[in-house]
Structure 1
Amino acid sequence: LRGLLRRSAYLTPADDETLAVGDLALDAASREVTRAGEPISFTSTEFELLRLLMRNQRKALDRTEILRHVWNYDFGGRSSIVDL
């Protein structure tokens, strides 16, 4: 149970966070993404996926984590939503 809570806290984004990786910046409060100061337009799903990846840049995320945190999809079966 402690492990689940710890992972959940690590993966659940705060609404007021600002993330930066190189010259890419994501402002969760305003839902804006910029690269080298230039705004980039994202759909809601793209924004949430980028946010998840930026928060976990040194961690390999499995399909279940991505589905749960980007699509709020908690399904025990297989889904091809995340397939590349």
Structure 2
Amino acid sequence: MPSLQSAQDIFERQFLEMRCELLNLAAALDRIHRADGAGDVQNDSRMKQLADAIQIVASEGDDRAERLQLLFSDDYVEGWNQS
């Protein structure tokens, strides 16, 4: 379904927020890198998830949010809510 707003309008409205979120992510990664034990964190599977997420964000397409959600979601387990 087409948006009622133009891509330029959306971009103008969202640019500063997107820039801020990217700066927050970069700053957090910098703090981790400078902290004691930074090498230990590099082996954490969540760091791999973050690296994969950055690749998704940098990729093309209109399903990046969906792919990120799937990346950070657990696989469905049949009967998870059964006692």
Of Structure 1 and Structure 2, the greater helix share is in 2
Higher strand proportion (structure 1 or 2) = 1
TM-score normalised over the length of structure 1: 0.29
TM-score normalised by L of structure 2: 0.30
- The answer to which structure, 1 or 2, has the higher relative contact order (CA under 8 A, 6+ apart) is 1
Q: Rg: which structure is higher?
A: 2
